Structure 1
């Protein structure tokens, strides 16, 4: 849970820092979207080799290495002289952060008997980081330069990495493995890797892979530029509120951005979504839950701009509904992956699916950045709704297949 909170603290502090990088480095949303997509892409691509490492070395070592690498990457970010330096630091972050989800989710799948409840609490911890990361970043930016903020953010991960090395646990407490399964070693050659991949990719798992890819596009696409979008919607709804809170000439007035706090509130609401999604996995088949939530995300995508255009209360309502539904997906997704994979190769299964969620999904940042550069916010949410409805159709195929 601590590792999950830290991963998402860093992940979701990046969109807040992007609002500053746009001005400091005089770049466009398209260029910055591509730079961020590089780091987020490695976050996903690295999940596959990360999953292989988890099956070989176990979760504890991998989670501690992940935390140490993320802390060092944000130290490097504080030294970035230009947009290229930002790209290098974010790439380091993405590569090291990528091993977390295969490690953490393998541990829960194989080590926690009440899997749905475990995914729920694990997800809630992630949302503490998801909401706390941007909120902490926004608050720190009121008092410090963004480079100092990057250094401050690096410290907790480095401490957590050291603490993590002292922890031991039984990683297979919730599964009964045969002697053959316990002795089974992860692939150590290209041929063995291909053979294990073929064994894993049943029709059911392939459908799950496609579903989580579309969910990843929606997730990354909507969250990356949401602070900027919310700022535009807030200005249209209530105007510029800064002069009414601070002295217009004070540094706080210059740095204060109400949209960043609305963004953090949206992410905080996701804690409730994580709990609901986790509990649903104990009540219904998780793949049926995916149909419900992806349909909801489709409707939210189509209604977001019209609802936000009705005024402040409409914007708040649709934003919080989005936050709740977006994160209710995650425990359902994780339980579905576990349902369609094998315990002895669970690291590989989560490696593949998080390659899809965060690797393929990273294209969502580039797509949304491009649409915003050449199109409109309305078009962005129509594209996102298309991703959700595509995922829902594949989820229906998963449930109804013979």
Structure 2
């Protein structure tokens, strides 16, 4: 290490080292010349502000005037040398510096079940919330998490697939955050006049000749048969009619256009926004499989939950290949299912065979699984890694 004599007034010349983080740029100084420049660090004994042997390395930052470089913290990275600051980890990735500073953020893609906004520090820092799931990598925000599908509940954070069925006595149209949800029209107790077995997406009405004034029925046998042998009318107002106070029959007044009247209606219920009725006596609105006012059957490759104004695309990893579907099913293994390739009314477009070089387990959307190192796939429609062939070597003589 090179040293320089610093002249001290009133004393004989002595030799001193400059302090760490400083440098001495010439001979005969009584104090250090100045701080080490940003992008560099200066152990004791430096002669320039930018010592070539002490430039700030990858993964670190050097603000200047420091003895040692400082590592970039979690949520940041640095892929360039001689820098005075760290870069923010971009959305869709995480930068975990627990075991050392991050240089290449691209190796840390956000995992399934989670999303990673700018500055994410750890892979499981931001789980998709209850009522949603995610089977894709690299998500940026919670809005990219998929809503829980019909008949299923997503009752824990960070799910890659819905795993629990909706409990008996409840219906789960979408976004259910519990197996016994209370989300109103999206997911709730089975309404009066209906029953809901396990994994119900839409309540099932009690059959003709029966009724139920109770909620949360679990099976058809719990519907009550209408009582016979009566000499006077007694009971709830029938569907399609309403019975104000003083009504004497179960069909007192027919339901008016622009409203609907389920069982036991005292006054007509106005059709909610986005729904309509142009006839009187309406019992239900937008039944399963309907998409428009003329109750056109829902086309293949689409699904139509109750109340749909138009057919809905299935989310990535889900499909339906028949007419009249109210909910989507999980994409079968050997195929991938993405909404941009689905064509309304074309059942064949609902699922696409897994391409060569990849395998596609159940629920595959955009996330085809590449053949791992040491294997290859020469055929389409592979379902799992075990279907792949081992790589062989060809010897050329």
Question: TM-score scaled by structure 1?
Answer: 0.21
The structure showing larger relative contact order (alpha-carbon pairs under 8 Å, at least 6 residues apart) is 1
Larger Rg: 2
Q: Which has the higher strand share?
A: 2
Question: TM-score scaled by structure 2?
Answer: 0.21
Q: Which has the higher helix share?
A: 1
